[in-house]
Structure 1
Amino acid sequence: MASFKKSFEGLKGTSQAAAKGVTDTAVQAAQDAVQQVADSSKETATIAAQEASRQTQAVIGKAADKATDTIKEFGQKMETK
């Protein structure tokens, strides 16, 4: 009976260790997946911010060009008067 109990305790310990290993692996895989999503989100946000900045700079450049043209036209009109 003692031998059976010892074998059972050994099996119980092995099963617990295996279950812990599976759980640890699953937790690590979940953490890795979450980190990948977070990294991807950061990259997407960075790309979006860069594109927004590029577009803003383009609009500012066009507005500056338009303002320059308007000032030139006004100056030409003033010269003719």
Structure 2
Amino acid sequence: MALPPQYAGHRLSGAADAPHSLEFYLDYVCPFSAKIWNQVYNHVLPWLEKEHPGRVQVIFRNQIQPWHPASTLTAEVK
């Protein structure tokens, strides 16, 4: 079953038909997710685009963490 569009992932780089996929499940309000995001955005994405252009698609998916009270509200805002 397909996910509704609001829950689909966001492709950050790479083509849809790339042979490899790298998916990140992060929460918008989690400080640890923010640390991971900063590393991925500043280091991993530039390296992948330089070393393996078009071979890896990177997908971000918002994963609501119930122990962060604002996660649900933040995820539903459009």
**TM-score normalised by structure 2 residue count:** 0.22
More helix by share: 1
**RCO greater where, 1 or 2, for CA within 8 Å and sep 6 or more?**
2
Q: Which has the larger radius of gyration?
A: 1
